[in-house]
Amino acid sequence: MYKITKSGWLEVITGPMYCGKSEELIRRLRRVKIARQKVKVFKPVLDNRYSKKDVVSHSGNSIEAVPVDHPEEILERIDNTVDVVGIDEAQFFHEDLVEICEDLADRGIRVILAGLDRDFRNEPFGPMPELMARAEYVDKLHAICIQCGEPASRTQRLIDGEPAAADDPVILVGASEVYEARCRSCHAIKG
Ligand code: ADP
Ligand code: ZN
């Protein structure tokens, strides 16, 4: 593979819940630090899954991140010395994230984004489709289907053990419902 040298670029890591997006983001960012490049990591404020200030994977790895409300704040916190920007849970950000990431890449920054490609209804999630279309590199990871053990590409939402309905609200981080990884044939929507 030829290395891009005249500009930055966008990398997207995507797939359903539990497919290893955060783990892969953390792995790439650790290597950036080993290379002594300057990195800034961001996540949306509403992702309070484990920690307000870190990107944390389901297996317990973590890296420090700045929680931000609106993607504009990412620009405000970047100076000319930053080589790499990492963004976790990108699906929760406003659509403005797309143009902001393009700007950063134009300015020479490597931007690594992790986020869900689709919500529990199997619909494309927030700015992710646009980011995937614009990125130089896209990795779609699979989890393991909790029902049958096949590769899982979808996120199942369960409320009191039953599949959620499509018209239930999309974003409910930290609520009492359960999410699990499922394949196409085991994924279900109520109604
Ligand atoms: P994501 O950010 O995509 O939600 P994480 O990186 O936080 O995923 O977590 C991935 C880890 O979750 C895996 O390495 C594995 O240890 C664990 N895990 C739990 N359930 C599953 C599953 N159904 N399929 C795959 N990995 C799972
Ligand atoms: Zn299955």
| 111 CA → ligand 1 middle, Å | 23
pLDDT attached to residue 77: 96
How many C-beta neighbours within 10 Å does residue 175 have? 9
How many C-beta neighbours within 10 Å does residue 174 have? 9
- Which region, left, alpha or beta, applies to residue 18 given φ > 0 means left and ψ of -120 to 50 means alpha? left
pLDDT attached to residue 93: 97
Predicted confidence pLDDT, tens digits, the chain (191 residues)? 788 888 999 999 999 999 999 999 999 999 999 999 999 999 999 755 556 678 888 888 888 999 999 999 999 999 999 999 999 999 999 999 999 999 999 999 999 999 999 999 999 999 999 999 999 999 999 999 999 999 999 999 998 889 999 988 765 655 578 999 999 999 999 98
* Interface predicted TM-score (ipTM): 0.98
d(CA 2, CA 103): 22
| Protein residue whose Cα sits closest to atom 10 of ligand 1 | 20
Ligand 1 nearest atom to the CA of residue 57, by list position:
7
Catalytic residue chosen out of the listed positions 11, 23, 24, 89: 89
pLDDT attached to residue 56: 87
SS (H, E, C) the chain: CCCCCCCCEEEEEEECCCCCHHHHHHHHHHHHHHCCCCEEEEEECCCCCCCCCEEECCCCCEEECEEECCCHHHHHCCCCCCCEEEECCHHHCCCCHHHHHHHHHHCCCEEEEEEECECCCCCECCCHHHHHHHCCEEEECCEECCCCCCEECEEEEEECCEECECCCCCCCCCCCCEEEEECCCCCCCEC
pLDDT attached to residue 143: 98
In short, whether 153's Cβ falls inside 6 Å of ligand 1 is no
136 among known catalytic residues = no
d(CA 136, CA 131): 10
- Say how many residues make up the chain: 191
